[in-house]
Amino acid sequence: MKRITSTQNQAVKNIVALQSKAKARKETKSFVVEGLRELQLAFTVGFEAMHIYWCPEILVEVAFKNWIGKFNLDTEIKAVSTDVYRKMVVRDTTEGVLGVLKQKDAKLENWQPKSNSPFILVLESIEKPGNLGAILRTADAVGVDAVIISDPHTDIYNPNVIRSSVGGFFSVLTFVCENNQAKDFLKKFNIYIYTASLQKSVNYAVADFTKATALVMGSEAKGLSPFWQKETTAVKIPMLGHVDSLNVSVATAVLAYEVVRQRKS
């Protein structure tokens, strides 16, 4: 097994670029996943490993071989020193393993909801990776059928998206597209569109989320664009204090769990 001990090795530089630059991820159609649990989730849902790096000083050989043996991977494994591993990772608490995985190219037009009353989240131009990851975590918790990221302003393969999703990145079916594609898809399948907005809106508790439903959430800074304010129903979360809005990931969780509550009643 090859071992990398220099932080100046080209493979190490490539990992650092993938961790820090969306351009590098886009050009190579790859991304980095750190840690045993996240990699196991990725392999379970069919992500393909291009490279695996393992630090024996952090994860002993017996434990690593027992773990890697669970997967039928046709991938070269390279051992790295502790200094090299620390150079590669974003998080300090990963267990001594990281992988470079191929991105998936899921097309919204190729997907059809499996139920007559799907629940879909649409996220327009979310800017902060931490918020996007947190919403994917909520999406997993409430069992959405899919998340559509429209007019994206952040790279979904950003390591902070993956970290903050706590596995939701891998378990939730996610598509990236433009606003027009998203709305056309929802109309095609007669999915009722609710938008989160304070203007001309009704209390979210009186909305009917038992039918085929899409919740559309806007960006942190600007909210929803005018595009989503036509032919949709706006709902609002009552604000009883002095602040006028919630963080977008918190607001998404509130609305999503109302969908769950109505459908379980």
Kindly give the confidence (pLDDT) of every residue in the chain, 265 residues in length, as a single tens digit, with 9 standing for 90 and above. 789 999 999 999 999 999 999 999 999 999 999 999 999 999 999 999 999 999 999 999 999 999 999 998 989 899 999 999 999 999 877 899 999 999 998 999 999 999 999 999 999 999 999 999 999 999 999 999 999 999 999 999 999 999 999 999 999 999 999 999 999 999 999 999 999 987 778 999 999 999 999 999 999 888 999 999 888 999 999 989 999 889 999 999 999 999 999 999 7
CATH of the domain at 117: 3.40.1280.10
Residue 35, CA distances (Å) to 59, 61, 190, 205 in order:
11, 15, 40, 40
Domain match, 49 and 12 both: yes
Domain match, 89 and 114 both: no
The torsion angle over the Cα atoms of residues 88, 93, 98 and 103, rounded to 10 degrees, is -90
Domain match, 258 and 144 both: yes
Domain match, 164 and 78 both: no
Domain match, 132 and 248 both: yes
pTM for the structure as a whole = 0.94
Of 67, 102, 137, at which residue does a domain stop? 102
The torsion angle over the Cα atoms of residues 224, 230, 235 and 240, rounded to 10 degrees, is 60
How many other CB atoms are found less than 10 A from the CB of residue 109?
11
Domain match, 56 and 114 both: no
Residue 84 contacts residue 11 (beta carbons within 8 Å): no
CATH of the domain at 56: 3.30.1330.30
CA angle 264, 218, 116 (to 5 degrees): 35
Q: What is the domain count for the chain?
A: 2
Helices (H), 3-93: 10-20, 22-28, 36-44, 61-68, 82-88
Domain match, 161 and 211 both: yes
Domain match, 119 and 199 both: yes
Of 51, 76, 102, at which residue does a domain stop? 102
Domain match, 134 and 113 both: yes
Of 102, 118, 148, at which residue does a domain stop? 102
Q: Structural domain of residue 89, as residue ranges?
A: 3-102
Nearest to 41 by CA among 182, 170, 185: 170
Residue 118, token pair as written in the block = 């799907």
Q: What is the pLDDT of residue 265?
A: 73
